Structure formats: C-alpha cells, structure tokens
Structure 1
C-alpha cells in the first residue's frame, strides 16, 4: 500500500477536519514523515516528501508565509497543513494563488484539532508501513534470486495480480514492493507508471503465484531489452513477439550463424527494405508506407533481394527475421559491456 498524500487525506479528512485549499494539487505524493515547522531556517533540514504542519507562530508574520511555502516546495515537501487559529486567521491570497499555480498541496486544519494527534496517527502508520515494506522487499529479493523460503510465502501471496516491472532508472509511482539489483530497479505494482522518455521499462504479465515471480522477472527483463531496442519508454512482455525466442538463446554460435546469414546484405537500403518486408509479412503496400517510397521501388528492391536470398518459404523468411532480431539484441548487449 502506497502511503500518499491522497491516501491520508481521504482516510482522515473528517477525523481531523482537513480542508484542501488547492483542489487541483497533485496529491499522488508519497509521505515520508510529518514535521511541525515554525521557523523557515529549519526548512533546510528537510529530506523530501515530508508533510509539514505550521501554526504560523513565526512563519505567518507579514511577508513570511509565501517565502516559507516556496522554500518548502524547493525542499520537495509533499504538502503543507495550516493550523488555523490565533496566528493564521485567513490564508493570504498570494499564498493561495501560488499554491494553485504550482499545484502545491495546501490544507487548512482548525485550531481545535490537536497537532500531536494527527502527527502520531500519520507517523505510526508510516512506521508500520515501513516494516511491511521491509518484509515485502526481502521476500521479493528472495524470489528474484529463486531462494523463496517458507516465511516468504504469506508475504508473496500479496503479490498476486501485481505486474512486475524492471526499469533502468528509478521511477516515482505508487508501487507495492521495490528492489534494486545492480543497475536495475524491480517493482511489483498493480498500476503502471508514467515512464520518462529517457528511461526504459519492461512489464510482465500479472503475477499468478509467488513461485511465478522469477519467471515474471525474466519476462519483464526481456521486455526491458526490447524497450531499449525499439526506443520505447514502456514495453509489455506480451508484445515482444519473436524477441522472446531470441532472448532465450544463450549460445554464441547461434548468434554467429545469424550474423553470417545476413552477411551478403551489404547495401543499407536493401537491408532496411528486407526487414520491413519481412515484418509486414510481404506486404508491398505496407513497406512503401513505412519507408515513404513508391511501390515500384519496393518491388524492384525485392527482386534484387530474391537474387541474394531464398524468400519462398515461411521458414526461410522466419530465419531471416530472427537474424535481424538477433542483430538487435547483440547490439544492445554490446552497449552494456
């Protein structure tokens, strides 16, 4: 369970009489802790993702509240709760406008609500969730190393229905469990992230049992490789096609044979045309559209290719397409060395 600002707000809105002053704010932010801050000089000690509460004793003095809010945002605080009372009787319009413009979560809470109560409630749940997360992380790590113990099973049962994701960059989204192994980040989640353009992520099919996790991790890893080949941010395992076959091959001799098969193809234009023709199952029209050329040009190139390769049977075509895919995989693997 991801302890986000949205989670706490919807579960405790009535209990603590919280009022969201910025309805368009991004509440999908993880909360790491809750702090009472009354002095701007203490903002530099924040580590990020903290929910801040202030009574305004010092922070609401004339000209102080807006710079305080801006500094909290710079320190990546996940939101601010204003304890309305003797120090803050109303929210300055400039503060409200800035928070709305920057989608910064701003809440109001009545003076009658005890700050100690909300802090204890939130922090206890954060600590409890951290312990649970540690158990999930340990169990997921054991599963990825194919070393599942009996005590891991009850924890891993909670992974049913989750996707397993593998990314080459750390992602920020509500995950169920998270492990870093080497340069890769593994996530179990029921939701899919918004992946930055510069990152690559592979997604498995939903986990059906704890013992399927190692297989799903392998599948997600293959999808990650294909996402890099295709320059996609996110690729599902179910969509990788023949790459699944290629990525299951670990014999260097097979890759050498594939390279030899394509070796007569020295003309880049012919190479591009053949690959497109194979991927489009021999459709001249589809090749012409993809490569932005006239059908006659495609037909001419295919005639030239038939003088180099046997292109009459499905087996011959599949061998050539596999060779192209193996070339892709070899290129990616070489870039990792």
Structure 2
C-alpha cells in the first residue's frame, strides 16, 4: 500500500522547508516511493504513484520544465519536487498555471537541503505506513479466514486503535471485464481510486484482493463514508462502463470483528446474485429472502437442498434442451395462474398443465401442496446464490 501525499507533506515538509506552490487538488494522490529524475527520457521507466525530485539540470528553461511536468502528469506520477538553486532559480507563472489546471502537485525545496536526507525520511515514512497497513490487513484477513485465532488478530487490531468496541462494515466487489487479461489492471485501478477517495475524508479502512475480487473492511465508519464509497463506485462504473462491469455488495452495519468470517461467506454468495442479475449496488439487509437462506443454512446444505429440488430441473433442461426452469419461474411470477401463463406463452392452458405435471414429476413435488410450492420456490432463490 502507499502513503497519502498530503500526509507525507505535513509530516516531512516542515523539517526541510518544503513548500507546495501549485496543484493542491492532487494532494490526495498516493505515493509508493520517491525518485530523483533529471532526464525526460527516464520518465517511461518510472512507476505511477512515485514522487519525483529534480534539480532541473536537464530541464531548466520554461519550455523544458513544462514539458517535463506534462510527461510526469501523463505518467500518473504523484507530484514533483523542484530543488531551487543554480539550475532553476524560480518557477514561472505559466508552469504554476498548468499544474493548478490539471491538479499536479508542484513543490519547491531549498538548494541547501541534502536530497539524500529528505529521500531517506520520506522512504522511512512510506515503509512505516506500509508495515502498519500490512499488519492491519493481515489481522483482518486472519479474522476472516482463521476466526479461531482471536488472540492473534485482536491484539494487532487493538495495538492500532481498533478495540473490542470497534464495529465494521464489509464490502465485496466483483469486476466483469470483456478483456480477461486486463482484469488485474482494472482491479488495481479501482483499488487505487477507492483508497484516494476515502483518504480525502480520513476514513479507517482495510482493503485486500482475493480470487480476483476486492474486499473492503470499513472500521468506525459513518454512513457518509459508506455513501462516498457508493458514489466512488458509481463514478468508476460510469467512467469505465465500456471496459468492465462493477458489482458491489454491502454487509449489515455495526458488525463485531468476530462476525466478519461468516459475512465474508455470505457476501460472496450474494455477490454471485449481484453479478447474475447485473446489480451495481446490493445491500445485504434489503435482500430479505436471500439473507434468510444464507443465515439458516451452510453453503453445503444449500447446495444439497438445491440439487434435490430445482437443481434436478436444471439438469433436465441441460440434458434435453428444454425450458422447464423458465416456465416454473413464470408460474410463480403469475401467482400460479394457468391462464395467464398460457397467454404469456401463446399456448393452450392444457399445454401448460401438461408441462407443469412433467415438472412435478422431475422434481418430485406437487404444486397443489403449499409446502412443496414453498420448497421449490426457495430452491429457485438458492439458484441465484450458487
């Protein structure tokens, strides 16, 4: 993980008389590392989210420096620190205007400052922050995947300010991309944007990826922060709608840490529903029937129940190229009205009766019996979760 540029500036800046002179809109950029770059030819070799320092030895005139800034910005560099001295004595209004326009942070640093010192302190700050975030991420993942090891993960959480009273919200995200080979790129893109946006409101969160899904655990949150997450996801979906489809499921609020493991499994099942029905945002608590199914049965129990009911019909359709599953769903949508079902399919009601009797035989049910109807209807809902 990276450190917020604004936090790095407030922590290290005063010691070295570092001053932000333009591009304050980019102060929420993330910084992975700090590099000295003097030659524009080296910019393509820099990674995004790096903070660049330059003395201007190779780009000291206005045209060269503004071209340098543009190339850094296009490379998604987090910001530029210019070492004011013999090569660059001042920054022209034109360069300041450009950086303000695009939100590219531009800093100036006195020539007397030893670059090795400020780079050392910034690097140490980045590594320290990464260590804290790695520890928190490991603790949360232990709570999810090794819930019995409470003594281990609770100590780490408490050490970082997340005590027994802390409450959590778990969010699961899935990306569906036409170009499968770019899914990792899109996952990194989404995680980066989410981190940047949440840092703007000083939200406490832990983010990790697993099985090509993104998971976010928000701690001591406000509903405003949850709304911000939703807005960020909606904006990303709108911006990149041609590249990928984004689906998100939000857990109930105020979860104790001991509940994260159970809700991780439930949200994964609900995520399949969201992807299958192409729902951008799904609130777990609003899906009453689905959450009841997930609450009363384990995944294996749900699979066994489904296999012996609606699953039989799905297998029959697959083997015989029929459409019995869709007809049964229509039957429930029409509240069991044979005439409405016949009208919908442009067939005689006797044809519908014949097909329903066949369905009853395959599934070993009687649609006139309310318990059998409930059983098969629940199994249809389960199908969305498997």
C-alpha separation between the residues in 2 aligned to 1:255 and 1:100?
61
**For residue 381 of structure 2, what is the aligned residue in structure 1?**
325
TM-score (norm 1): 0.72
**For residue 167 of structure 1, what is the aligned residue in structure 2?**
173
C-alpha separation between the residues in 2 aligned to 1:266 and 1:112?
80
**For residue 287 of structure 1, what is the aligned residue in structure 2?**
none
C-alpha separation between the residues in 2 aligned to 1:267 and 1:202?
27
Give the 5 Å matches for 1:71-220. Answer: 71-111=71-111, 114-146=114-146, 147-148=148-149, 150-157=151-158, 158=161, 160-169=166-175, 170=187, 171-172=191-192, 173-174=194-195, 176-190=205-219, 191-192=225-226, 193=229, 194-195=232-233, 196-197=236-237, 198-206=245-253, 208-220=255-267
Tell me, yes or no, if structure 1 residue 235 matches structure 2 residue 282. yes
**For residue 283 of structure 1, what is the aligned residue in structure 2?**
none
Unaligned stretches of 5+ residues in structure 1: 279-297
C-alpha separation between the residues in 2 aligned to 1:31 and 1:222?
35
Unaligned stretches of 5+ residues in structure 2: 176-186, 196-203, 220-224, 238-244, 357-365
Count how many residue pairs are aligned between Structure 1 and Structure 2: 310
C-alpha separation between the residues in 1 aligned to 2:83 and 2:121?
16
C-alpha separation between the residues in 1 aligned to 2:267 and 2:305?
25
Cα RMSD between the aligned structures?
Answer: 4.1
- CA distance 1:123–1:55, change in 2 (3 Å): same
Residue 80 of structure 1 and its aligned partner are, at CA, apart by: 1.3
Residue 214 of structure 1 and its aligned partner are, at CA, apart by: 0.8
- CA distance 1:79–1:316, change in 2 (3 Å): farther
Residue 237 of structure 1 and its aligned partner are, at CA, apart by: 2.2
Deviations 1:59-91 (A, max 9, x none): 323532122222222332111122334333333
TM-score (norm 2): 0.64
Residue 32 of structure 1 and its aligned partner are, at CA, apart by: 0.7
